Structure 1
Amino acid sequence: MKHQLPHIEFKSGEDSNFGFEIVPIEKIITNKHKFDHDPEQPHQLKFYNLIFFTEGTGRHFVDFEWYTVNKNSLLYLTKEQVNAFEFKSTLKGYCLVFSERFFVNSFAHLPNDFVFRLFNPQLFSPLIQIPEDSEFKTYFKLLQQEYNRKQIFNHKAIVESLFIILLSKAEQLKQHQTKHIKESSQLRLFQRFTRKLDDQFTFQRSAEYYAQELAVSYKHLNYVCKALINKTAKQVINDFIILQAKRNLINSNLKSSELAYKLGFEAPTNFTKYFKKYTGLTPNSFKKSIKK
């Protein structure tokens, strides 16, 4: 592993690109030695990535868990997630990579709760399986065709529209493969909760505090978290902090004692006890396990 976790920005290889690109996995495998990072080692995304596996079997590393992927597996990767490929000669597919600007522009006219659900690892597994006879595959081929026709009239709008349709078809499949969240008021509260947590976790880890900030009772916040993801509000907070700690720990330039203060712990020993309580490992043991 390199001394610093690579943070991969969106860089297009296409002159006419507008924040969206379709990249074959075979192309990544062929050119992996030309990158300034190893795609088979953990790296942190600064863009969004939707990977559609069309042939073979393998694994993909997402936020410290390995997911088995097969033909017709669809993998959602959101900005800031840590991921890594495991390349095999039989594994084929495509990465649909897009910038945050493309994401915002494409979904500007869609319901906010729909957009929030799309790339939210707290609400869903990042992996779904596309049925062989699904319309998703039809629209994916159409998106490929239109994306490759660079000089057509209104090219950007056509690609954006087909991409929205593609994700909408995937959302339809999620309703049958995962617990579908329909209660929008609960979803909005959970969204506000996670946003506040992202802003304030370094100085506040109390579920009661966030309930007060959201102007709801602690009991109601717990109820919503349990209803949506079967976790208490405190578990949501702990999971979020542990994930931030793991993402920082695999940057080998950062000592666990430095990370303790960065995450808002009063002393390194407090952080070590907290981390071990929820992972079973000390911070240093976790770093060594990832390097292996």
Structure 2
Amino acid sequence: MAKAAIPTYDICSLVMGKPTQEEVVIARFPDYLAAHSHIQFPHRHSFYHLALFTSGGGTHTIDFERFPVKAGQLYFMVPGQVHGWYFEGPTEGYVINVSAGFFTGFLKDPDYVERFPFLSGVAAEGVITVNNQAMADIQPLLEGMLQEVNSDRPYNLDMLRVLMLEMFIRVSRSTQAGPVKQEMLHNNLLLRNFRKLVEQHYMQQRLPKDYAAMLYVTPNYLNAFCQHMLGKSAGEVIRDRVLLEAKRLLVNADTPISNIAYQLNFADNSYFTKFFRKYAGVTPEEFRKNIV
């Protein structure tokens, strides 16, 4: 049987209980799974998706990278990432779904939330093992969110925003050793801007020099910067984004591979197949057959 295209869920389709929860959904993991058992297979979200496991086993995948489910694991996903769950036994914890615009009218800086490193959209950067101290700080905030999301008290949405931002800050602090230097702030800003440009232009622009020009730096500087920050060149960052989109498109078995090659701006199907096999280790056809 052919696999269908990866479904995309918006936050309204996953509302639990109150109709007002169209911008934010917060639930205990067992309740969420019981209400939405159909979404364990690969799917996308049009919103931010966060989960904290307090117990459980199995695996979950984010953009085709597999991670073990274990107590103390917290993961963050940005809109558009592909996700699936494969649990073994009961799983406890919390789920938060929050719309991309939930903080826009509340914060003067609309890009504030994107500054947290775990909201970069890179799968490995969004999966964090929370230490005991951070867990002790974070779990009461999640319990507070559960109370607010189910209440009719005044300013409950604003309180949710405050609690959520406090959680983001505490998680970010738990993953950083010592004070953040001005140089690191500058580096994080440049990296974030480069990734945003890649996200916007990777279909057409494949050369580091094009992005270097948009960032007002030299190609050599951009490459050295990416090596320093990520351990890979700027060209590899661009290539990885193209490869990820190819994998996402290949999930839909009804789309001919030649169409995917054209959509990704490859000269022909042969060139696309060589590119994919070189960097994914398998042909597009083999990858498609092996998708779980």
TM over 0.5: yes
Rate the CA distance shift 1:71–1:232 in 2: closer, same or farther, 3 A: same
Work out the CA distance in 2 between the residues paired with 1:158 and 1:280. Answer: 48
Of 263-272 and 195-204, deviating more is: 195-204
CA RMSD of aligned residues (A): 2.5
Tell me by how many angstroms 1:214 deviates.
Answer: 2.4
- Paired residue for 2:143, among 141, 144, 148? 141
1:103-122 aligned at under 5 Å gives the runs: 103-105=103-105, 107-109=107-109, 112=112, 115=115, 117-122=117-122
Does the residue aligned with 1:264 lie in a helix, a strand or coil?
Answer: coil
Please, which runs of 5 or more residues in structure 1 have no aligned partner? none
Offset at residue 88 of structure 1 (A): 2.9
Give the match for residue 216 of structure 2. 215
Relative distance call for 1:131 and 1:200 in structure 2 (3 A) is closer
SS of equivalent residue, structure 1 residue 100: coil
TM-score (norm 2): 0.88
Distance in 2 between residues matched to 1:97 and 1:113, nearest whole Å: 14
2:289 is matched with 288
Alpha-carbon spacing, 1:106–1:5, altered in 2? closer, same or farther (3 Å): same
Q: Which amino acid aligns with 1:284?
A: E
Distance 1:131 1:231, change over 3 A: same
Cα gap change, 1:113 to 1:186, in 2 (>3 Å): farther
**What is the alpha-carbon distance in structure 1 between the residues aligned to residue 203 and residue 114 of structure 2?**
29
AA in 2 matched with 1:229:
L
Q: Which residue of 2 aligns with 1:160?
A: 161
TM alignment of 1:8-47, pairs within 5 A: 8-11=9-12, 12-13=15-16, 14-32=18-36, 38-47=38-47
> What is the one-letter code of the residue matched to 1:147?
V
Q: In the superposition, relative to structure 1, how do residues 181 and 167 fare at CA in structure 2: closer, same or farther (>3 Å)?
A: farther
1:64 aligns with 2:68: no
Instruction: Tell me what 1:131 maps to.
Output: 131
Secondary structure (helix, strand or coil) at the match of 1:5 reads coil
* Structure-2 residue corresponding to 1:81: 81
Provide TM-score, normalisation by structure 1: 0.88
* TM-superposition CA deviations, 1:15-58 (whole Å, max 9, x none): 2225011122212332345xxxx322111111111101122222
Superposed displacement of residue 229, structure 1? 1.3
SS at 1:51's partner residue?
strand
> How many equivalent residue pairs?
285
In the alignment, structure 1 residue 232 sits paired with structure 2 residue 233:
yes
- 8 Å CA contact retained: 1:113, 1:184: no
Shift of 1:193: 2.0
Where do 5+ consecutive residues of structure 2 fail to align? none
Helix, strand or coil for the counterpart of 1:23? strand
Aligned position for 1:189: 190
Check 1:109–1:213 CA distance in 2 against 1; reply closer, same or farther (3 A cut): closer
Tell me if the contact between 1:46 and 1:79 (Cα under 8 Å) persists in the aligned partners.
yes
Determine the structure 2 residue equivalent to 1:95: 95
CA displacement 1:53-111 (0-9 Å, x = unmatched): 12222211111011012112111111100001113332111210011111434554487
Instruction: Return closer, same or farther for 1:85/1:272 CA change in 2, 3 Å cut-off.
Output: same
Give the share of equivalent positions with the same residue, in percent. Answer: 25
Give the distance between the partners of 2:154 and 2:175, measured in 1 at CA. 33
Which residues of 2 match residues 195-206 of structure 1 at below 5 A?
Answer: 195-206=196-207
